[in-house]
Structure 1
Amino acid sequence: MSEANVAADQLRLFIERVERLEEEKRGVGDDIKDVYLEAKSQGYDTKTMRAIVRLRKMEKHARDEAEALLDTYKAALGL
């Protein structure tokens, strides 16, 4: 088997892996959407839930910094 064939086969395998992972990602995205819809049907505010999820992903120091900056901006605007 030539090097070109090996490289083409390897490239095809990489592409197929990415395609499978993209499909899984779509499925997970749909599952997440379903959870938010279920929470909304139970009376929860999904916008706030998304904000909480976003905050929980952040490291504490980054979250503290973002909250301090938000407080500074709010104070500057008299909120």
Structure 2
Amino acid sequence: MTDERQHGMGGGAVAADELRLLIERAERLEEEKKGISDDIKDVFAEAKGRGYDGKAMKKIMAIRKKKKEEYQEEEAILEVYLQALGML
């Protein structure tokens, strides 16, 4: 395979250098993602060590991502459902 361009399975030409660079870039990003994930785990471990509840923190984070109106609507529906089931 002396040519820079090789044929892919679909019969189209693939630029080997470009493909290799894209794969390498994705691999680097996966490594960064793993590092960030590990950092987040460390934060939650630290929080647990200080007496905070990780599940509650994650719930708060999910709420903070939503628009206020969206959150209020979800809470209202949840309350109606809980009342209907006799859980409130």
**TM bucket normalised to smaller:** 0.7 to 0.9
- RMSD of Structure 2 on Structure 1 (CA): 1.7
CA distance in 2, matches of 1:18, 1:29: 16
Give the structure with the larger strand fraction: 2
Q: Deviations over 1:40-73 (max 9, x none)?
A: 0100011100100111111223212221221121
Aligned to 2:42: 34
List runs of 5+ in structure 2 lacking aligned partners: 7-13
CA distance in 2, matches of 1:21, 1:65: 36
- 1:8 maps to 2:16: yes
Superposed, 1:1-79 pairs within 5 Å as 4=5, 7-79=15-87
The 8 Å contact of residues 63 and 71 in structure 2, kept in 1 or not, is answered as yes
| TM-score normalized by the length of structure 1 | 0.87
Q: Radius of gyration: which is bigger?
A: 2
CA distance in 2, matches of 1:13, 1:60: 42
| TM-score normalized by the length of structure 2 | 0.79
CA distance in 1, matches of 2:43, 2:33: 15
CA distance in 2, matches of 1:54, 1:8: 41
SS of structure 2 residue aligned to 1:74: helix
CA distance in 2, matches of 1:11, 1:37: 39
Give the structure with the larger helix fraction: 1
Identical positions, percent? 58
